[in-house]
Amino acid sequence: MSERTHKSLEQAKQEGKYIRTVRSFVKREGRLTKGQAVALESHWHEMGLTHEQGLVDFTQVFGNDNPVVLEIGFGMGKSLVEMAKQAPELNFVGIEVHRPGVGACIAFAKEQGVENLRVYEHDAIEILADCIADDCLQTVQLFFPDPWHKKKHHKRRIVQPSFIEAIRKKLKPGGVFHMATDWENYAECMVEDMQQAPGFVNLSETNDYVPRPDNRPLTKFEQRGQRLGHGVWDIQYQKQ
């Protein structure tokens, strides 16, 4: 670790900021298309939220008290924008680390006239720890998180007991954590970890998976999985 990083890590810890060392993503520097760059430049001030802002007051951000749905790792944001458009009575917040995805999401939201959506370009683990108040989310959705296929990489999977506990804290009582994956082993691990986590009830009648909910639009990764003949597992747990 370089001295510079070490110093900033120490500083951050002293300031009480949450810092993690094993991450669920590899930062890709992918180039922005012109449309993504223009969207970020023109609309970030309306739609962007930052880690530096700290604890966020969603009533102030959205100008209303509507329930808040948080999506982690929205990719290019197409399904998130579609959901926000279909449900103007809810507020949506997306978190994604991939800058071109954030640009694409903002561009599509503007094209669709969606106003009930804000986005972070940051690691969701740090946003959960530093920016989201406890007991404030109606739904947390995690669709097709990176599966990290190899066993030696499973520690990079975002769904871990500590992540589940962070989600539990941020959900309102009665709020729902909705996961979907096309990787069977990850689906099994998700259910196993959720079963062991305190404070959640499985919404599945069979105590494992739920039927694909109608309000979840087909995501890019799901479409790809379908072409490859993968199954899809939806998992929903409610906070007690």
Ligand X SMILES: C[S@@+](CC[C@H](N)C(=O)[O-])C[C@H]1O[C@@H](n2cnc3c(N)ncnc32)[C@H](O)[C@@H]1O
Catalytic residue list:
146
Which helix (DSSP H) or strand (DSSP E) does residue 233 occupy?
A: strand 233-239
141 binds ligand X (CB under 6 A): no
User: Which is closer to ligand X, CB of 101 or CB of 175?
Assistant: 101
Provide the edge-to-edge strand list for the sheet that holds 48-49: 48-49, 117-121, 91-96, 68-72, 137-143, 171-181, 233-239, 200-202
98 binds ligand X (CB under 6 A): yes
94 binds ligand X (CB under 6 A): no
Binding test (CB under 6 A) with ligand X, winner from 221, 225, 232, 239:
221
User: Which is closer to ligand X, CB of 58 or CB of 74?
Assistant: 74
Q: 210: exposed, middle or buried (C-beta count within 10 Å: 0-12, 13-18, 19+)?
A: middle
End-to-end CA distance of the chain: 42
Count of CA atoms in the C-beta half-sphere (13 A) of 90: 19
Amino acid (1-letter code) at residue 68:
V
Query: At closest approach, how far in Å is the CB of 158 from ligand X?
Result: 5
- By CB under 6 A, the residues from 8 to 67 that bind ligand X are 24-25
103 binds ligand X (CB under 6 A): no
Closest-CB residue for ligand X? 73
CA 122, CA 129: separation in Å to the nearest integer? 12
Binding test (CB under 6 A) with ligand X, winner from 68, 93, 95, 114:
95
Which helix (DSSP H) or strand (DSSP E) does residue 34 occupy?
A: helix 34-47
User: Which is closer to ligand X, CB of 91 or CB of 141?
Assistant: 141
Annotated binding residue 234? no
Query: At closest approach, how far in Å is the CB of 72 from ligand X?
Result: 6
Which residue positions form the known binding site? 71, 96, 123, 146, 150, 182, 219-222
Q: What are the residues binding ligand X (CB under 6 A)?
A: 24-25, 72-75, 95-98, 101, 123-125, 143-146, 158, 219-222
